[in-house]
Amino acid sequence: MKVSSDQYFYIVWILSLGFLKSSCLECHIYNLTECGASAEECAKSRKTETCKLESNTSTTACYALWKRPHNSTRDILQYKGCNLNNNHCGGLSSCVERNYGKQYDPNSLTFYCCCSEDYCNDVYEWIPDSTTTTVKPKIVHPNRSSSSILVFTLVPVFCVVVISVMYFLRRKILTKPLTTSVSQIDEEKILLDKSESSQTLSITLVEVKASGRYGKVWKASMAGSNSYVAVKILPLREKASWKLEQDIYSLPLMIESEWIVRFICAKTHQPSDVDNLQLWLVSEYLEHGSLYDYLKGNTLKWTELLKIAITMCNGLAFLHEETDGGSRGYKPAVAHRDFKSKNVLLRPDLTACVTDFGLAHIFYPNKPVGTCHGQVGTRRYMAPEVLEGAVSFTRDNFQRIDMYACGLVLWELASRCGAQQGPIGDYRLPFEEFVGQQPSLEEMQDVVVTQRKRPTIQNDWMSHPGMAVLAEAMKDAWDQDAEARISASCIVERLKAVSNKAV
């Protein structure tokens, strides 16, 4: 096949700059605000993370952000991590800042660099280009050998020569504007288009209600409101989850659903510590808290269990289904991807609503799902195919993973219901009888994939006709064969049929 000159230069350009990357990018991560007094030791920990692409069209990069106090030669690392959809970093093998820096506070300059190779943000540096008006000494972090410095000095020069040649050969490519993405350094002050009203809301934090690996949830008061609100606070490195949750809540019909927690706004918050920018998600506050919290301290009547189970599954079914609201808009299908009892909240009348969409996936029509998702979610609730890394990334498969977790939550409900003839035991998490409270991934793989175990269904449950139906539903939801699992709407139909009978 004959290759035209245009096609040839496209191919050379793409290969030379490395825009195509088939695997997930690995980056070093660091957050000064989480280190406290042990920042120096924290910086040596060399933690890493995998940048997860959400589609075939997404791009990702590693970045580093550091500050240099005025009249000082000592630089202070602030953040390292992943940047999603940061197109201007493509093809960069080293993390180099070529501008003078930006002055976000009167006492220091802020430097930022990004690159697109595995662990390329381990070392970061400032090398001013010829257009920099103020000459400053070269900054290199951490210490390098002279040969390493020479290599990374010559590489940019070589790239400039190549790019200059390509400019004259293929001007249309090189004249494409390199826009600054939202994940560049300006994200430290503005990460999204935020309404002025949400930024000026006066919110006072009252007490921590929950804490997890991604952040904390606070009970808070809001000026102008007689009721409390819930504030989920995320660190800056979780900006992708913060934006994703806003995208989910912004979908048509979401705000109207009684089975989804009511979202109020998102905002950034800058405490007195200038380096500690926080990402806030503000929603309605529910005194009962999560289903997990409620089951630990309360047992359920059969009618209460039915109400919780039906409304919870209604929420999951609403997420999973495409809904055409006519003039109100079209809601695409959504997979939760971290469904568990901690992510189900209870209203005062014990109806359930679903929350926490930081790992969710929206299935937009005609948009590929992508192939780089990894093992996300909570280990205890991971489906067998997730634990063994054998997921085919389709809408149906993602939703079947949710249904597996739903079956485990139904078991949690049943274990605390007084409809059974025998005594009600203390609350236990799914699989706690086999792996305890802090299982490793290997332990869950052995129990769920190899031994094919599931939480024990007590014989006493089967003496109650409603509990027997519930037990069958949970078994059909957590089936080892993903394609055999029933849908959330099917569970609703079964439980409604039971509720219409005298049991």
Please tell me the chain's helix, strand, coil percentages from 3-state DSSP, rounded to the nearest 5: 35, 20, 40
Per-residue pLDDT tens over the stretch 295-336: 999 999 999 999 999 999 999 999 999 999 898 899 999 999
Higher pLDDT, 104 or 128: 128
Mean pLDDT (the chain) is: 80
Q: Side-chain half-sphere of 193: how many Cα atoms within 13 Å?
A: 2
378 contacts 358 by C-beta, under 8 angstroms: no
User: 52 versus 137: which is more confidently predicted?
Assistant: 52
What's residue 176's pLDDT?
38
- Does pLDDT of 186 surpass 60? no
pLDDT at 282: 95
Q: Would the pLDDT of 117 be above 70?
A: yes
| 133 membership: H or E segment, kind and range | none
Secondary structure (DSSP) of 209-238: EEE-SS-EEEEEEETT-SSEEEEEEEEGGG
- Chain segment 398-428, per-residue pLDDT in tens: 999 999 999 999 999 999 999 888 789 899 9
- As given in the structure block, the two tokens for residue 75 are 């630089």
Neighbouring residues of 331: CB distance < 8 A, sequence distance ≥ 6: 251, 252, 253, 254, 322, 323, 325
Q: Where in the chain is the domain with CATH 3.30.200.20?
A: 196-284
Position 183 scores a pLDDT of 40
Between 390 and 358, residue with greater pLDDT? 358
Q: What is the mean pLDDT of residues 128-146?
A: 50
User: What confidence tier does 77 reach under pLDDT thresholds 50, 70, 90?
Assistant: confident
pLDDT tens, 451-502? 999 999 999 999 899 999 999 999 999 999 999 999 999 999 999 999 877 5
On whether the CB atoms of residues 350 and 308 are closer than 8 A, the answer is yes
Q: What is the mean pLDDT of residues 23-28?
A: 78
Q: Pick 291-499's CATH classification: 1.10.510.10, 1.20.140.10, 3.40.630.190, 1.20.1090.10.
A: 1.10.510.10
Q: Tell me the three state secondary structure of residue 501.
A: coil
Global pTM reads 0.64
Helix 395-415 with 465-477: angle, nearest 10 deg = 150
| Three-state secondary-structure class, residue 334 | strand
pLDDT, position 334: 97
Indicate the pLDDT class of residue 131, thresholds 50, 70 and 90.
low
Q: What is the pLDDT, as a whole number, of residue 370?
A: 63
Highest mean pLDDT of the ranges 1-5, 40-44, 144-148, 352-356: 352-356
Q: Where are the alpha helices (DSSP H) in 170-301?
A: 171-174, 196-199, 239-249, 291-297
Q: Yes or no: is domain 25-171+182-188 CATH 3.40.190.10? A: no
**What is the average per-residue pLDDT within 388-407?**
90
Length of the chain measured in residues? 503
Average pLDDT over residues 38-46: 63
Confidence band for 243, pLDDT divided at 50, 70 and 90? very high
Instruction: Quickly state the pLDDT bin for 64 (edges 50, 70, 90).
Output: confident
Residues serving a catalytic function are: 338
CATH topology of domain 196-284: Phosphorylase Kinase; domain 1 (3.30.200)
Q: Is the pLDDT of residue 19 over 70?
A: no
User: Residue 423: what pLDDT?
Assistant: 85
Residue intervals of the chain classified under CATH 2.10.60.10 are: 25-171+182-188
pLDDT of amino acid 83: 80
